[in-house]
Amino acid sequence: MLEPAAPRVIFIGDSGVGKTSLIYRAKYKKFNDGTTPTIGAGITKMETVQNGVNIEYQLWDTAGQEIYRSVVPMYFKGVCGAVLVFSLEDRNSFVNLQSWIDELSKHTELPIPYVVVGNKIDSENQTVTRAEARKWASDRNSFIIFTSAFSSENVDILMEHIVSNFVYPPNFDEAFAKIQNKSEKSSCC
């Protein structure tokens, strides 16, 4: 019997907002200032324990550069959640959030849950205020977390949100039991 694929969470947003750095910080618990722009997508395997269950999942880091924008939607298929990242230093990355949401909606069959992340809260060169970003998220009934990949502020909270809302949501055990029960009933062998 094939093992089910690990749940996938996709990180999307403009180039330079810190998607790669957030994932690196979450995985290795340190900052990597030598990151280069992602081409296509990078996959990071993660593990955690939730309610006594070992859970493996994947964080997909996508390219944010305009030249790769047409390729990114092919990575949306089968994701269980999305992390929309913008930089508090880059107003355009904030303005472009809606286009990322539109792309996600356009290229997925079901509505995909997402969290908005305002990264680089440690920067002194912010062009987007937290109040403005909170209002934007609130107007869309979206959850927002402010992070710093550099200092690690709120990165663990982001990962907890990803696991508890996308990878292992509150009704996971019940839903998994139903799926397992259906597959056992329909088994031919």
Compare 176 and 7 and report the one with higher pLDDT: 7
How many residues comprise the chain? Answer: 189
Q: Is residue 1 part of a domain?
A: no
Q: Is residue 189 part of a domain?
A: no
List, in sequence order, every residue forming a beta bridge with 118; answer none if it has no partner: 86, 146
Q: Tell me what the pLDDT averaged over the chain comes to.
A: 84
Q: What is the CATH number of the domain that holds 47?
A: 3.40.50.300
Nearest alpha-carbon partner for 146 in 117, 104, 107, 171: 117
Q: Which residues span the domain enclosing 151?
A: 8-183
What does each C-alpha distance from 45 to 8, 34, 67, 169 come to in angstroms? 9, 20, 26, 19
| Number of domain units in the chain | 1
Reported as a single tens digit per residue, the pLDDT across 74-125 is 778 889 999 999 999 999 999 999 999 999 998 888 889 999 999 999 999 9
Q: Is residue 167 part of a domain?
A: yes
Compare 161 and 182 and report the one with higher pLDDT: 161
Residue 10 has pLDDT above 70, yes or no: yes
Residue 46 has pLDDT above 70, yes or no: yes
% residues pLDDT > 90 (the chain): 59
